[in-house]
Amino acid sequence: MENNSESRERILKSRPPLLFDKSKINNTDAFPVWSMSHPATGSVADTNDTTDSAWGISAVNNTKFNAFGWSQSWSLNGGLDGSTLSLGDRKTGYDVFKEPVDSDASIIFMGDATAALSSYVMTTIAEARKDLVVFCSPERDDVLGTTTQSTNVLDYRNGLPSTSYGFMDSGWKRQWDNHNNVWRYIPLNADCAGLAVATENTLGSFYSPAGYTRGQIRNIKDLAWNPSEADRDVLYNKGVNSVVNFPGEGRLLFGDKTLLAKPSAFDRINVRRLFITLEKAISTAAKFQLFEFNDEFTRAGFRNMVEPFLRDVQGRRGVTDFLVVCDETNNTGSVVDRNEFVADIYVKPARSINFISLNFIATKTGVAFSEVVGA
């Protein structure tokens, strides 16, 4: 059986440091760390001696001692209070996602963000990379404490670009904050992004994350705004996906449109994410053709890698049909002489149902249904 010191060291190594307020650090026995007091500006050590008997930790003059016989001192500096960050600061923060080689992100959710910031991320990052989708929500004041929610949400949406790499919901939800024991309103874009991830993990990125089957919002007390049917129709025409409280059904994401304004297969989130998945997977396969000979042997090898993958997606209902063309018809002599390799991949994506028509027809007792249907 391990001794007390070994047990503490094992727990210390297995538990990450807390990254929230001072009281949470100091009041949690499982972490042998103590946060010292500090003035509003600058940095000085706490002059008070504090001991945590549960861990044998003493904090004196900003130095931490514990039962393992070593001491460490850390100083946090150069940070900013999130509430004081400017738009430029926030843009700089999101710029870390600009390069796909540095970040293999497939989803960015904006949290509490202005239309200007969401537009910046969609335009300069998502549109440039073309391999991720940005999820955003209107601002808090757009849907809470006001009677003009629909107008406010549309104003936010009008500040965003027309793009298939953007997805917008209708508002905020109220959720319990376990760390501070209070109710808080938070934007729904993280929930919608989570639905997309959960759907991809269970079924595939090409399934819609919305509706009664997969669109259930969790960890929610209520909505800041529950759009009416009339509001939902107006918002959906503009590419805003409402989150709705249906009695007996819960709160559901009730839409799967991207922010692409023109009619296209890519105005649906499942189609856009399908193509992101296909492009990433097939691009990975294609890079192994680099510096090989552009001959039929190499082309056949590429087709033999791609076609089984697409057949698997088709078998999982992601596409209805596909065609891979990689032969001498698109790898002509001039293409070969330019040291290029060309493959054309045609895909028919599966479409989600957005409207249901049910027609009930009364027929006479003596009339056969074949006569009515054939009429």
Percent of the chain beyond pLDDT 70? 78
Least confident of 32-46, 66-80, 85-99, 141-155: 32-46
Least confident of 28-42, 194-208, 221-235, 272-286: 28-42
The residue type of 301 is G
Helix (H) or strand (E) holding 192: helix 189-202
Q: Give residues with Cβ within 8 angstroms of 179, minimum separation 6.
A: 20, 24
Predicted pLDDT at 35: 59
DSSP notation for 113-171: --HHHHHHHIIIIIHHH-S-EEEE---HHHHSS-S-HHHHHHHHHHTS---TTEEEE--
Q: Residue 224 burial (CB < 10 Å; 0-12/13-18/19+)?
A: buried
Q: Where do the structural domains in the chain lie, given as residue ranges?
A: 4-72, 86-269, 290-375
Predicted pLDDT at 201: 94
Q: How far apart are CA 57 and CA 67, in angstroms?
A: 7
Most confident of 38-47, 158-167, 365-374: 158-167
Q: Residue 9 burial (CB < 10 Å; 0-12/13-18/19+)?
A: middle
Q: Count the neighbouring beta carbons within 10 Å of the beta carbon of residue 279.
A: 14
Q: CA–CA distance from 350 to each of 21, 275, 373 (Å)?
A: 47, 11, 28
Structure tokens at 249: 């059904």
Q: Give residues with Cβ within 8 angstroms of 33, minimum separation 6.
A: 17, 18, 25, 57, 64
pLDDT band at 308 (very low <50, low <70, confident <90, very high): very high
Predicted pLDDT at 46: 42
Tell me: pLDDT of 73 over 70: no
Least confident of 19-33, 60-74, 117-131: 60-74
Tell me: pLDDT of 5 over 80: no
Most confident of 14-18, 75-79, 155-159: 155-159
Predicted pLDDT at 42: 45
Predicted pLDDT at 148: 96
Q: Give residues with Cβ within 8 angstroms of 152, minimum separation 6.
A: 138, 141, 142, 143, 146
Predicted pLDDT at 70: 54
CA atoms within 13 A on the CB side of 350: 18
Q: CA–CA distance from 45 to each of 27, 42, 56, 69 (Å)?
A: 19, 10, 20, 21
Query: pLDDT digits over 242-280, tens only?
Result: 999 999 899 999 999 999 999 999 999 999 999 999 999
According to DSSP, the β-strands at 319-325 and 344-349 are: antiparallel
Tell me: pLDDT of 15 over 70: no
173 or 288, which is more confident?
Answer: 173
373: left (phi over 0), alpha (psi -120 to 50) or beta: alpha
Predicted pLDDT at 174: 96
Sheet holding 57-60, edge to edge: 50-52, 57-60, 63-65, 71-72
pLDDT band at 18 (very low <50, low <70, confident <90, very high): very low
Structure tokens at 364: 């006479």
Selecting from 1.10.1510.10, 3.40.50.11780, 1.10.3720.10, 3.30.413.10, what CATH number does the domain 86-269 have? 3.40.50.11780
Least confident of 175-184, 260-269, 274-283, 358-367: 358-367
Among residues 298, 344, 342, the alpha carbon closest in space to that of 323 is found at 344
Tell me: pLDDT of 71 over 80: no
Query: pLDDT digits over 313-356, tens only?
Result: 999 999 999 999 999 999 999 999 999 999 999 999 998 877 77
Q: CA–CA distance from 24 to each of 18, 27, 35, 63, 229 (Å)?
A: 8, 5, 9, 19, 43
Tell me: pLDDT of 11 over 50: no
Give buried/exposed letters for 101-124 (b at 16+ CB in 10 A, else e). eeeeebbbbbeebbbebbbbbbbe
174 or 3, which is more confident?
Answer: 174
Residue 187's DSSP bridge partners are 172
Tell me: pLDDT of 24 over 90: no
